[in-house]
A and B are shown apart, each in its own frame.
Chain A
Amino acid sequence: MNWYAIKAIYLSELARTWRTPMQSIASPVLSTSLYFIVFGSAIGSAMASIDGISYGAFIVPGLIMLMVLTESTSNSSFGIYMPKWSGAIYEILSAPVSAFEIVVGYVGAAASKSLILGVIILLTARVFVDYSIMHPFWMVLFLFLTAVTFSLLGFIIGVMADGFERLQAIPLMVVTPLAFLGGTFYSISMLPDFWQKVTLFNPVVYLVSGFRWSFYGVADVSIVWSLVMICSFLALFLVIIWWVFRTGYKVKV
């Protein structure tokens, strides 16, 4: 195992964050704060509580999930796409590193970043709403699995993308809508019957539900299903990455 390489990739990717603190940290924190102000404090005060949880507190887990999902995906896709685009990837391809080590470095850094961001947003939320965390261990586990899974997805997107437009298409057109419709702002039991069934095809529902359960002990779907789903996605993305490297897809000819 080339630990020095993993460390080098990991640290240089994290350094990228500190180089652009406005874009990497301030802007996601600001936008979630706006959600908290508008939906949590302003509109939330006029909303009925859901499952006995005040609306402001109800949306906290979903909003953190939303942010971690999108940031993991876009961060990771950007991280691997940039050297591909600039050509600097030659160095990693010519280095004594395995595909596994490359993935650990890039995905680890992207996941770390969004975990840090998740924690910052969690603390920020405290300023606006009161929430409690019933199962801290599960909360951390869900956050961690989500960050890793979607950083893997971002990595796949970054490797396969052959333009900036493509790079942003999936996060923008797929991940964000799914996250919005994933039960961040409502309980799926509030939907008509038909749409409840449709919603169950949205993987984000399971993440948000499980994550919210770790806060308040209530969930839209069973916690077991949430875990099964997140682990299945993790496995799926790992298989895709394995395939990508095996075939050298768009990286090596």
Chain B
Amino acid sequence: MTTILEVKNLSKRYPSGLQALNDVSLSIERGEILALLGPNGAGKTTLISIICGLVNPGSGSVSVDGYDVVRDYRKTRSKIGLVPQELSINMFDTVWNTLRFSRGVFGKPANDDYLEEVLRSLTLWDKRDEQLQSLSGGMKRRVLIAKALAHEPEILFLDEPTAGVDVELRRDMWRLIAKLRSQGVTIILTTHYIEEAEEIADRISIIRGGEIVLTENKDQLMKQLGKKQLILHLQTPVTSLPPEFDDFEIDYDAAAQRLTYTYDSNSQKNRVTEVLGALNRADIMLSDVRTEQTSLEQIFVNLVEARA
């Protein structure tokens, strides 16, 4: 594994005085998908903008494939494709012309075959002669992706790619991301949708208030912080649980006749058997049993609350 993007101790204060990033460090491997997950205003767009050259860095450094984004900006920027958060396009251009423009501006000689392939993969080929203003919002977003891919970048940044898009486009986009990854493209996407990060990322960085709270392999994150719950529905209500149960981490909801035992899914020392045994001894009959794994969402909420 080689590092393709290295952010070191990056801080950024806007002229307004707002500290948007505070000592952010992040290292990204070639070919991985990293989700930058955080609430609105966390600094996701600022971080991406500095890497891509849209915003001047404050202190710290950013290097792409070993090149500094300020000093060697030509080298770093030609490796990067950016799909911005906003639908920022020249509405009077045609799809085809705007793509050719993107490729040219990024310093690549024309290659119409490649552009055709990009347009086809985004089901935009039939729209190639249409003006952007005549396209739907979803189609415009596809055009932005096509533009970002026009110069065959090694790293693709997607800033909130699925915010406000329909389910179909979201699925398409996830498929496309998977395909790009199989071609070796490194992908960094920002999102405030946890399911999105959970669905497609290899690693997840959680950013909040301009600071990276944690960066972790997704599966590991789920495992490390993943709590499991055993949910038991009682056949007949009991007014209170026998004192024996005080020993366990158990919630009892009398109205719903529901017992919830929370445990660590990784730990071999969980006490599921003991809980069931205790129920048996107390002659409490069950009508239903199920387990739930905490989602990233809960992990995220826990983390954010813990630091608030």
A interface residues, Cβ below 8 angstroms from B: 2, 4-5, 7-9, 11-12, 15-16, 19, 82-83, 86-98, 248, 252-253
A193 to B74, CA, bound (A): 57
Contact A86 B107 (CB under 8 A): no
Q: How many A-B residue pairs have CB under 8 A?
A: 82
Write 12 A-B pairs (CB below 8 A) sorted by A numbering.
A4-B109, A5-B104, A8-B100, A8-B105, A9-B105, A12-B93, A15-B97, A88-B89, A90-B88, A93-B54, A94-B77, A96-B74
Q: With A87-B88, A90-B82, A253-B15 known to touch, is A96 a contact of B77 (CB < 8 Å)?
A: yes
Residues of A within 8 A of B14 (CB): 253
A86 to B140, CA, bound (A): 14
Majority SS at the chain A contact face: helix
Q: Which chain B residues numbered 14 to 55 have a C-beta less than 8 Å away from chain A? A: 14-15, 52-55
| B84 contacts A by Cβ under 8 Å | yes
A11-B104, A94-B77, A95-B107 given. 7 additional CB < 8 A pairs? A4-B106, A4-B108, A8-B100, A9-B105, A90-B54, A97-B107, A98-B74
Residue of B80, B101, B104, B108 near A94 (CB, 8 A) is B80
Residues of A within 8 A of B105 (CB): 4-5, 8-9, 91-92, 95, 97
Contact B56 A12 (CB under 8 A): no
| B102 contacts A by Cβ under 8 Å | yes
Residues of A within 8 A of B78 (CB): 96
Contact B107 A94 (CB under 8 A): no
| B248 contacts A by Cβ under 8 Å | no
A7 to B91, CA, bound (A): 21
Task: Bits for B154-172, please: 1 = Cβ < 8 Å to A, else 0.
Answer: 0000000000000000000
Q: With A87-B84, A91-B102 known to touch, is A252 a contact of B56 (CB < 8 Å)?
A: yes
A223 to B92, CA, bound (A): 44
Residues of B within 8 A of A9 (CB): 101, 104-105
Least Cβ–Cβ distance between A91 and chain B, in angstroms: 6
Task: Bits for B97-138, please: 1 = Cβ < 8 Å to A, else 0.
Answer: 100111111111100000000000000000000000000000
Contact B84 A90 (CB under 8 A): yes
Contact A94 B52 (CB under 8 A): yes
Q: With A12-B97, A15-B97 known to touch, is A95 a contact of B106 (CB < 8 Å)?
A: yes
B52 nearest CB neighbor, chain A only: A94
Residues of B within 8 A of A98 (CB): 74
